[in-house]
Every structure is written in C-alpha cells, then in structure tokens.
Amino acid sequence: MKTYDKIYNELLEVVPNGNTVIKVMEVLKRNGVVQGELTKPIEWIFNFNGGGWNTVRATNIEDAKKLVKTKYETLNPMYDTIRPSARADYESNMRNFD
C-alpha cells in the first residue's frame, strides 16, 4: 500500500484545487484505501486582505494557521483562504509576476 504522503502528493499534481485533494484523501481514509496522515510538511497557500499571497509549510491546516498567524498576522492574512497549494493554484499565482 502506498503511503498517505505519496498518494496526497500524486493527487496534488493532477487535481487543480488543494482543498479537493484534502476531501478526496478523507474519502480514501474512510474507505480503508489509505491510512495515516501527512508525515512531511506540504505547502499551504493563502491570501492577504487587500491583495497578495504567500505560503507556509506544515503537515496540517491547524499548524498552517498557527504559522500564518505567527509570521504574517500584522499583514492581515485571510485565514479562510489557507489551502494546500496544488500545482495549478501555484502556477496561477506565479503568472501574475510575468
């Protein structure tokens, strides 16, 4: 059986939305296809009130929110936008720099 991390990261490569990947992983866990949780930090992307975005690395959303608060609270992050950074999400944001 593949690890949670392996399946999760494979899904992030093909599913354009990180929140969808989280939901798919929950279904796979409930059905016994995969066990455990992430063991390696992933990139979580979020937006700031007034524009802009950044990322933090964590193994779960709770830790990601704590990191965002610790590092960026004075910049008014939008906590409800914290989500796993899927390839398409990241590429979309990076296009703004072209």
Residues 6+ apart with CB under 8 A from 75: 48, 52
Residues 6+ apart with CB under 8 A from 74: none
Where do the structural domains in the chain lie, given as residue ranges? 4-97
Q: For 16-40, how does the pLDDT look when each residue is reduced to its tens digit (9 = 90+)?
A: 888 899 999 999 999 999 999 999 9
Higher-confidence residue: 75 or 96? Answer: 75
Q: For 46-90, how does the pLDDT look when each residue is reduced to its tens digit (9 = 90+)?
A: 999 999 999 999 999 999 999 999 999 999 999 999 999 887 777
**58: closest CA among 42, 82, 46, 69?**
42
Q: What is residue 53's three-state secondary structure?
A: strand
Q: Where are the alpha helices (DSSP H) in the chain?
A: 4-14, 18-30, 61-72, 87-94
